[in-house]
Amino acid sequence: MLTRVRSGVLILAVFAGACASDRALDEVEGVEPPNELEAPEVAAPELDARPPIVAGEPLYPETLVRLVEGDARDTERLADVGMCASCHEEVYAAWRASPHAAASFDNPWYRQAVDTFREERSPEASRFCAGCHNPVLLLADAMEEPIEPADPRAHAGVTCLVCHGIQEARADGVGSYTLSTAPVPLPDPAVPEEVAVHVAALTPDPLRTAALCGTCHRGFLGPDMGNPHHLPGVDEPTAWARSGFAGSRASRLDTRVEPATCQGCHMPLVDASDRDFATTDGRIHSHRVPGGHTALAGARNDAAQLAVLREGLTGVARVDVAAVRSGARSTRPADGARLVPGRVELDVVVRNLAVGHRFPGGTRDAQDTWLEVEVRDARGALVAEAGTRHAAARDETAHRLVAGLVDDDAQVHDLHHVQHFRAAIFDRTLAPRDAEVVRYAFELTADVAQPLSIDARLRHRRHSHPMHAAACAATRSPRGRAFAATSVALGRIPIDGCAEQPVTEVASARVWIGAGAEGREAAGGATDARFQRLFDHALALIGDVQEHLDDARPSLAAALRAAPDDAARAMVHGQLARLEGRQGRLAAALDQATRAERLIGEHPAIHRLRGDAYAQVWRWEDAAEAYRLAAEGAPLDESRWTDLARALGSAGHDEEALVAADRGLTIDPRGSSLLRSRYLALEGLGADAGVASDAYLAHRVPDALSALRLRCGQRSAWCALERLPVHVHDLRPAQGHASSAR
């Protein structure tokens, strides 16, 4: 039975920021979101209205793709990229190298997953995939039949007229767009009026918005796809909308943020020649869509695409060796730490600096981004290490930035066979501007020559070892060879899923510790300002479980002493307010929030901190007022409306709670907390809440989640370790002795 109590564990959003800067907060964070990002207004609620999940009917139950009314479904035109290439030579060449061009069955990573899905579920169910990966096949009603390697439509991917034909973009995801396949007016380049008509037809309103990308880069599983309950999946828009990239100012006090849309990062302006008629002043928007698809570039031996991808990946995160514990002493930052024989613990901090969604993004269960750590003595001899063998084969000592999804038996699946997914047990990927700390431990003996160098490296590869092996098998199978032959016949480079995956070093750090460390040169993230290193360490530690929150206090105290200006001091007071609030110390949390406010003035993030502190002790009236002010400063952040709706409902203001919930649902139509607040508000108002109750029950967290977490930890030491927010990896001794992780 559902209860009207809105309280519970507070989910503290920790998403904010863009590339770091030394400029003060009040100089920058007042920027308004771009006009295209304005959140829609919500009218007074209809008490018997259905929740705004899907308005109207999609073409198929498994995907939310629609067509413009009366559209002829001209899939031949939709697939015809040659028509565009004749005038847009350079755009076409860039698109051909992109993951959009290789989104369909010719891609062996996708093919091994979708073929298995079709076999185990049904061809009809695979329309769920097709709305984003195979729109040409979908609209031709071909997904219900066997997909033959010789069918050019199975090689089409996301074509030019898919993105340029989208007339409406809705927030759901799973292909939540409305498409037109109408004829394109082809102009005479010498007639400006004809060119203007052509441009207008191919730049519909959603084209340059983040909403367009969100139609496919937000996904979920549910009963229509054969899963027993709703399970969120790929979701770049939510993390982005909570961050400074979307103009949000409520997540946390942070250094400068540059608002940007998906296109701003993934389709930057690049040099182009006049051969492409889209060139303006020698520049054109790149259609390479750079991200993390290095495996695809390697599989095509595309050196140019790989270089672009590596340039984009390098430096998007920061790594630091932030603390050392030896004996009774803890040194923060780690440089020059005194060592005594015995157990030594290292805190390695990773922070997402410049990715506007989670890093790594996309299918987070199939990613392969990991940490390598090496400890060497004064002569350069290896003392201990972790993760250094992972490039060749899975290394159990490697900490990976990956999500763990399990089946009904709590077995982690890493082949992206979504038909088996039942729950997410952990997610070690990093939200925008978020940080995590990973602990490493080793035994220091008296005969080790000091000082010691500590090297930490963050390395990226697109796919996990099992995913790569599956793609290789799909490539070498008769079906895979037939797809490769058709690719050659179509004039394209076949994708070799067996090619070695490129590895990119994203970030690194080196520190020196122990006797004689003075004067030794640090490197990478360890050379950043002392304040930033201490702040990042504390930020990561505040994500730990309740009983270990005080571990962050020494770093916050040191960061406050090292803060270079009022903006930096406000950042520390903000984190102290967060820490005190999580521990239920209301007066202390409010005091820290006020200290931050005195330094930089009124700020949505400070209102949010007050709201969290009040909510932690069930002061719902006060929480609601603070959350209202926070939401006004972050209108696109659905978590702000979630907090506000919960607080208003818990305070008995049901009509206002309903308005807040509906506002949030325009951003995240399937947010379970928002659907719960909506149901409870309708019930409190005496309205018929049956439909709203059903919507909440269909989208809530699975009842079996706790049992699956426990079972996963029992059957897998890796799962048991990774579901802990801060955990320890034992470094592997250089002598080759067996290591353990706990």
DSSP string, 692-730: HHHHHHHHSPPTTHHHHHHHHHHH-HHHHHHTSSS-EEE
- Does a structural domain hold residue 290? no
Q: Taking residues 574-585, what's their average pLDDT?
A: 97
| pLDDT tens readout for residues 334-385 | 999 999 999 999 999 999 999 999 999 999 999 999 999 999 999 999 999 9
Asked if residue 337 lies in contact with residue 423, where contact means CB atoms within 8 angstroms, the answer is: no
- Does a structural domain hold residue 696? no
**Domain residue limits at 720:** 311-463+501-528+706-733
pLDDT band at 43 (very low <50, low <70, confident <90, very high): very low
Say whether the peptide bond before residue 733 is cis (omega within 30 degrees of 0). Answer: no
- CATH code (residue 339): 2.60.40.10
Return the pLDDT at 221: 94
Poorest-confidence range of 38-52, 466-480, 665-679?
Answer: 38-52
Return the pLDDT at 56: 54
Q: How far is CA 602 from CA 91, 605, 637, in A?
A: 46, 9, 19
- Which strands sit side by side in the sheet containing 412-413, from one edge to the other? 412-413, 403-406, 423-427
- Does a structural domain hold residue 325? yes
pLDDT band at 26 (very low <50, low <70, confident <90, very high): very low
- Does a structural domain hold residue 268? no
What the block records as the tokens of 514 is 């122990």
pLDDT band at 414 (very low <50, low <70, confident <90, very high): confident
Q: Taking residues 37-55, what's their average pLDDT?
A: 44
Asked if residue 486 lies in contact with residue 472, where contact means CB atoms within 8 angstroms, the answer is: no
- When the pLDDT of each residue in the chain is averaged and rounded to a whole number, the result is 90
Return the pLDDT at 4: 36
Return the pLDDT at 739: 37
Per-residue 3-state assignment (H helix, E strand, C coil) for 44-56:
CCCCCCCCCCCCC
Return the pLDDT at 58: 81
| pLDDT tens readout for residues 166-188 | 999 999 999 999 999 999 999 99
- Does a structural domain hold residue 389? yes
Return the pLDDT at 40: 40
Return the pLDDT at 318: 98
Other residues' Cβ atoms within 10 Å of the Cβ of residue 64: 24
- State the first-to-last Cα distance of the chain, in angstroms, to the nearest integer: 38
pLDDT band at 57 (very low <50, low <70, confident <90, very high): confident
pLDDT band at 462 (very low <50, low <70, confident <90, very high): very high
| pLDDT tens readout for residues 292-313 | 999 999 999 999 999 999 999 9
pLDDT at 25 over 60: no
- Does a structural domain hold residue 494? no
Domain total in the chain = 1
Say whether the peptide bond before residue 189 is cis (omega within 30 degrees of 0). Answer: no
Return the pLDDT at 552: 97
286-320 b/e with 16+ CB inside 10 Å = b?
bbbbbbbbbbbbbbbebeebbebbbebbeebbbbb
Share of residues in the chain with pLDDT > 70 (%): 92
pLDDT band at 275 (very low <50, low <70, confident <90, very high): confident
- Does a structural domain hold residue 689? no
Asked if residue 291 lies in contact with residue 217, where contact means CB atoms within 8 angstroms, the answer is: no
What the block records as the tokens of 503 is 């590895």
Asked if residue 18 lies in contact with residue 246, where contact means CB atoms within 8 angstroms, the answer is: no
Q: Taking residues 125-142, what's their average pLDDT?
A: 97
- Does a structural domain hold residue 88? no
Share of residues in the chain with pLDDT > 90 (%): 86
Return the pLDDT at 257: 74
pLDDT band at 24 (very low <50, low <70, confident <90, very high): very low
pTM of the complete model? 0.91
